[in-house]
Each structure stands twice: as structure tokens, then as C-alpha cells.
Structure 1
Amino acid sequence: MVDNEGRTCVYGLRHQARCLTAVVADADHNKFLVGSQSLRRENEIHLLEFHEDEFEITSNVFQHSEEVLDIAACPMQSDLFFTCYNKLTSNLIQTKANLWRMGKAIPEDSETNLQSHTPVATSLPLENIFEVDGDNTIKKILWDPKKVLTGFVSIHDYALNVWSLGDQFASSKLLNTIEFSSTAGPLTTGAWNPHQSEIAVGKDVSISGWDIKSQSQTFNINGAHSVMVRALDFNPNRPNQIASAGDDCKVRFWDVRNTTESIKEISDHTHWIWAIGYNRFYDQLFLSSGSDYQVNLQSIVSISSATFQYNDYDDNKSEDEYKEIISRPTDGLVRTYDQHEDSVYSVAWSAHDPWVFCSLSHDGRAVINRVPREEKYKIIL
């Protein structure tokens, strides 16, 4: 299936890949960063831009030797991003993180500015700003979304490290560390609450929240999933709501003020779920992707900040009033996007157009889709 106009936009990398992020500091363009993951070849960072009028993707390609495990775009400057990557030293694999700066955009007619899905051999260098200190188990970097600390958090196997950034992002300084027990396995994922200085982490089948200033626990959800938690995301418009997904093929939504049970559950995937994401403008739209090769777009309007009152029967309502109620958004699967032929490890909403999103599968296929027109009009009209 494809979007409402019968079209979809595909970009193919030369190597396998599993990490994708929107360039959140550039609200004027539909830009995404993708990192490749090849054990035997030189890896790359692809800066993709989706042009809606021409319905095409152009790109710049940057050199990144090590396989990229995670990528995090800076929310303040569009040319900065972190990568987490595997590095082989003395026959040991270490997982490290670096802050990088991209060079200026190259001319439109340059051979490295691409159209469609055929990358060329030439790639551009990246400026290495600094390597994140600490142990060699860095799994993920989270930028401060509110820019209060003007810093970031690094997620390790058994710790969260909180960092501040120096002038011009030239260096970092460790502020504090939150340590975790080595029982029940390492940390698997994390998310920063955009409403406050709180980090949520997944550890085996459980989720916990932590105030990074006081280093105190804010909530705990034991047995959030029956098997490993793979993905977390906070609702951008409702401060106390978080979504989780995992190897039990389920997405669950929680109110962290009362975690006895989830407030909603979705079971539309048939294999592990790797990525989830609230729409940053309209939190009733929600993406998930997994090892069933699918991307699901859900409507979760009943628990969103834009809850609609529908199905109210009233003898005094006119036919036109009932037609308006019927046309409003309702909970359920809006569309399944099945253009991938491998596990879909990442999804990301555009920072520019709230109706545009990108998904990435392990075979290196990045796909741009749009929210169906009928669902868009239900929301905005």
C-alpha cells in the first residue's frame, strides 16, 4: 500500500542500516539522517531531504568508518549529531559515541547531491568534535529536548551519564551518574521526557523513570511487557503519558501517575517491535515498526491531547451534526505501509511537515510516506 496519491518515495543505501532520525533543528525542510551498518566496509551517514513538490529525495553522503548503531540529531544546530558505533580495538569490540559536524551543503549540480535512490561513490568528510568519555558500552545518546541543561545523556549497559556541553559544543563535562543493578540484563533503550528533566529507560521487561537532577526514581513499571522492552517514547503534548513496545509484539500506553495497568494496548504487529513514535504536532497519530517488515500508522485519539467526543446519541441532533461526528477521528489502525522487505528498525516524523514520516529497514531502504489525506482532513477540519 502507498499514500493517498498512489505514490511513495524510496531511497536505497549501499549497506545495511538500522538507525534513523529527523533533523529536528531544521523546521523548514523535511530532513533525516541515516547511518549504515556494515562490518566489512566503510560506513556512511546519509543526509536525506524530501522535496514534496517534486516528490523526490536528494542526499549528501558523509564518511563514517565504523558501523552506526544509533544516531541523534542536535535539537539546536542542524549540522551537529551524535553517533554510537562499534569500534574494534585489540580484538575487542567497544561501543563508543562521537559528536560530529557536517560540512556546508554542496551545490545542487554536484554529483554527490543525489536524486531518487542511487548513491554515488563519492562521500564527504565529517568533522569530529569530541568523543564521549566513559566506559565502552554506550548504547544511545539523548539530547536535552527543552535545552534547559544544554547537554545530553548517554545510556550505557548499567548506567545513565548526564553531561553538560561547553562553549560552541566543543567539549562535554560529566555532571552525574545514575547506576543500575547488573541483574536482569543491561539497559535496552531510553527516552527523554520533553516536559521535564526526566529520563525513562527500558531494562529487560520493565520501565523506570529517573529525575536526572535529583537522581531519584520517578516511576517504575514492573513487567511492562512479557519479554524485552525495545522502544519508548513520551507523548509530546501530555506530560504524564509514555508509550512502550517490545518483543511481545505489543504497544502499550501508560499514565506514569498510576502504572498498575496500561491505559491502552495495541496488538497489530506479528513480530518484534523495534521503533515507535508520537507525531510531535498531533499526538493522536502514532507510528510503530518491527520485524514483520511493516510500518503501522495508528490513531489513538481517545488518549491524546485532542480527545474528541463522539458516539453521543441525542434525538435533538440534526443529520448534519451526526455526519460531523462520524467524520471525526476514531481509534484504530489508519494504514499499514508494507514497502519494506526486511525488519524495519527505525521510524521518524519530519520536523517540518507533520504529515510526513520516514522508515528504515535493515536492507538499507529508507521510505518516505505521508499520512493519508482523509485522516489529515479528519484532524484539521
Structure 2
Amino acid sequence: MQGGSSGIGYGLKYQARCISDVKADTDYTSFLTGTLSLKEENEVHLLRLSSGGSELICEGLFSHPNEIWDLASCPFDQRIFSTVFSTGESFGAAIWQIPELYGQLNSPQLERVASLDAHVGKINCVLWWPSGRCDKLISMDEQNIFLWSLACSNKSAEVLSKDSAGMLHSLSGGAWDPHDVNAVAATGESSVQFWDLRTMKKVNSIERAHVRGVDYNPKREHILITAEDESGIHVWDLRKAKAPVQELPGHTHWTWAVKCNPEYDGLILSAGTDSAVNLWYAAASSTNEKTPEQPVGSTRQRVNLLLNSYTDYEDSVYGLAWSSREPWVFASLSYDGRVVIESVKPFLPRL
């Protein structure tokens, strides 16, 4: 099934690329997003879905002086989040705290909790410990991966360990394995690298060109999803990672981001520079069964499991976030600053 969007919209004042579910907010379905303006004062918006699900309300609007290239909410404290930002000349990363009182347009200033200032190159992302209360973070620049210990009470962050990806690789992003807190996947120009945080060493890799996004399946161990520029979406079983176990067509232009649903196994969102968000269902059985046309020994399938395509955008879509509180709800963000909230209830698999 394909069609446009009937979702709930919200417009940011400036261009934007990143949006995050506020996982620690157990009372409301809420998201954080930040703008990307070179000349204007940038903003962080705290958005909440109304109790009836019919309106997206701005509960807090906060000044952020620099362009926001990455934003992630803390999984155990709804007032804490991270940003990667550019001053126009250099990149930085910081941990911020939302003030106690918010809900009006002239909200108090964000409080900087700590700066992740060990980087010398272009910083790409910050990853939070995937579940539970643990003050550990990962940050990546183009050449290095850092593991940090964050002390919010002391307003400090300490590097625990670091390593380099090597001169032949340029890191661009990554994901923390929710099934193994010592495992992290990092995307690059020519591969996906897997790191063991106990030794801070690379333990494996998948050689793929131009991987833009990566996510672990939170409901199934060893399953990783990648989004690639022109070759679409691939599902990998990391126990046999020489070839993907499933291929999805992706987008008509670059496939930029991919997100696995936190609750419904096999439900995948993707976003692309074709100004669309696609909803897929890659059932668990389809990653194991072979089609009659497959040669003996082949585990790869190319199938179209597109449930819906949301096309109510006028620009490339870079930001995606499932709601942890209401896992049938997701937020998307296009480069022109348009946030759209959608419900996928009509497409949920029968469990």
C-alpha cells in the first residue's frame, strides 16, 4: 500500500536534520529536535503529542548557538540530551540539561552539563548506553571512537578509552547493540565496523560502500539493518555476515536513515533524499526461508515488503524516531524543518 501522509505536522523556523524520542519520558509521547542554521540563532524544540493524539505541542523552546548536526536524548533522564554542533569553523559535542520550568516560548537557557572536548576532527555522533541507568557515552569523529564516563552532578565527562578506525576508514555514525552493551557498530565510507568496548578494538567488519544509517533489531539478537546510498536496505545476521539475509529496495534516491521498531519485530522505517518515509515489514521468518528461485547455499532474498510510503514532504528526510512509549507512533523530520507524527496502527502485524 502506498499513499501520502495524514499525519500531524509542526514547522521549525529553520532547516533541520535530527530528531530524537525522549525515551525517559514515561508520561508523554515526546520528541526533541534541533535546527541547522548557519546565520541565525539555532533552537532546540521539546515537542509533545497531546493526550488525544491530535496535536503536536511545543512544551519548550531553547536557544542553541550553533548548527545542530546530531541530537540524542538521554535514556534515563528526560531533561538530559546531547548535541553535536558546528560553529562554521569547527565541530564540538556537549551534554545539556533542560531547565525545570518550561512550557512558554521564552524558556530559560539550556544548562551545559559537560563538553566532549577530546576530539580534534569533525565529530559525527554521540551514542548513549542503550538501556538502564548508566552514565556512559560514545562519541565518534571521522577517525576515532571514544568511550566516556559522564558525571552530571560534577558537570564533567572523562574519556575511559579510545581507538582509531585507521587511515583507510572515515567514520560517519553508528549504533549501540541493545543486546550486548560491549558491542558497537560504526558506519564508514566503505564498511560497517564492529567494536568490542572491553578492549576498544575492532573485532569484525562488513565491507559495504556508502552506508548512511545502521540500527540493531531490539527484539532479535544478531540482527542488524543498514541503509545504503543507492542499494537500499539490507538485513544482516551477524553470525554469518558475508552476505545480507534480506534486501529491501529502499528509496528512489539515496536511502539515508533506518530505524527498527522498539516493540514490533520486523517493523522498519526508512527515510531518503527522495522526500519520502517508507514503512517495511521484514518478518522474522523471511530472513531464514529461501525462495524457490534461490540457488543452493544462497541466503539472500530481494523482496518488496513495503507497507506504506509517506510522501507529504517537500525536501529530503534525514530524521526518524520511533516513540518508545507508544511504539506505533513515529516522528520524521525533513530538511526544511517539517516534523510529522504518524501512527502505523493500520499496518501492525498480527502477533
TM above 0.5, yes or no, is yes
1:153 maps to: 138
Q: How does 1:95-244 map to 2 (within 5 A)?
A: 95-106=91-102, 110=104, 112=105, 122=106, 124-136=108-120, 137-147=122-132, 150-166=135-151, 168=153, 170-184=155-169, 186-196=170-180, 197-222=182-207, 224=208, 227-244=209-226
Which has the larger Rg? 1
Contact 2:187/2:214, CA 8 A, preserved across alignment: yes
Q: Aligned partners of 2:53 and 2:265: how far apart in 1?
A: 28
Structure 2 length-normalised TM: 0.89
Helix, strand or coil: the match of 1:257?
helix
- Aligned-partner SS, 1:81: strand
Specify the code of the residue in structure 2 equivalent to 1:132.
Answer: L
The equivalent of 2:258 in structure 1 is 276
Aligned counterpart, 1:80: 80
Residue identity opposite 1:86 in structure 2: S
Structure 2 residue aligned with 1:299:
281
- Structure 2: 5+ residue runs without aligned partners? 290-302
- CA distance in structure 1 between the aligned counterparts of 2:250 and 2:62, rounded to whole angstroms: 37
RMSD: 2.1
* CA displacement at 1:169 relative to structure 2: 6.5
Could you tell me how far 1:28 is from its partner in structure 2? 2.6
1:272–1:79 distance in 2 versus 1, CA, 3 Å: same
State the alpha-carbon separation in 2 of the partners of residues 247 and 39 from structure 1. 26
SS of match in other structure, 1:139? strand
Taking the aligned partners of 2:285 and 2:175, their CA distance within structure 1 comes to 20
Report if the CA contact (8 A) 2:76-2:133 is conserved.
no
Aligned equivalents of 1:350, 1:301: Cα separation in 2: 21
Q: CA deviation at 1:123?
A: 5.0
- Give the share of equivalent positions with the same residue, in percent: 34
1:75-111 deviation digits (Å, cap 9, x = unpaired): 11000000000024xxxx111001100112435xx4x
Q: Which runs of 5+ in 1 are unaligned?
A: 113-121, 309-329
Q: Which residue of 2 aligns with 1:321?
A: none
Report the Cα distance in structure 2 between the residues aligned to 1:106 and 1:209, rounded to whole angstroms: 40
Aligned residues between the structures: 333
Query: What is the alpha-carbon distance in structure 2 between the residues aligned to residue 130 and residue 56 of structure 1?
Result: 34
For residue 379 of structure 1, what is the aligned residue in structure 2?
350
Code of the residue aligned with 1:364 in structure 2: it is G
Distance 1:198 1:344 in 2: 28
1:367 matched residue in structure 2: 340
User: Residue 352 of structure 1 aligns with which residue?
Assistant: 325
